Amino acid sequence: MKWMLLCWMLLAPWAMAREAQPMAEDTQVEARLVVIADELRCMVCQNESLASSHAELAEDLRREVRKLIRDNKSDAEIKTYLVERYGDFVLYRPQVKPLTWPLWFGPFFMLLLAIWGLWRYLRLRKNALAMQHTMSTDTSHTAAHKD
């Protein structure tokens, strides 16, 4: 909560004092920055991406990412750079590795489990219905036989 408040407080002067800044010198760098930063979490305002956050740290990190882009680093290298410092949490799209397997495959596992449960239930019900059916025909049969 405190941080949310701080984020807003930091945002306030931007809302008033900042004139539209000239887009950075290099539009190509800027375009790549937006694509990369959109996939990264701002660690201060945890529910904002690095691209949209106005927190000071986000500003600094964008500066750092710009530098890396100018150094011709690949997207993967830039992401690794941030993960090495801030952990997997900065990535909105977590990497697939043993630790994140439950995250990626858990839902499918649950789905399979549910399908198996449904199949079992349906089969039991079918058997029960069939049994009931034979039982009722049996009784009618014997009843008819008695007559």
- Retrieve residue 139's tokens: 């009784």
Q: By CB under 8 A, how many residues form the interface with another protein?
A: 19
Q: How far is the CB of 84 from another protein (least distance, A)?
A: 6
- Reported as type and span, the H/E element at residue 11 is helix 2-17
Q: How far is the CB of 139 from another protein (least distance, A)?
A: 25
Contact 37, 65 (CB under 8 A): yes
Does residue 87 bind another protein (CB under 8 A)?
yes
In the range 18-77, which residues lie near another protein by CB under 8 A?
43-44, 46, 56-57, 60-61, 64
**In this complex, which beta carbon is closest to another protein, that of residue 32 or of residue 68?**
68
Contact 90, 41 (CB under 8 A): yes
Pick the closest to residue 11 from 55, 63, 61 (CA basis).
Answer: 55
The residues near 62 (Cβ < 8 Å, ≥ 6 apart) are: 33, 37, 50, 51
Does residue 137 bind another protein (CB under 8 A)?
no
Does residue 83 bind another protein (CB under 8 A)?
yes
Q: How far apart are CA 67 and CA 34, in angstroms?
A: 14
**In this complex, which beta carbon is closest to another protein, that of residue 24 or of residue 140?**
24
Residues within the interface to another protein (CB under 8 A): 3, 10, 13, 17, 43-44, 46, 56-57, 60-61, 64, 83-89
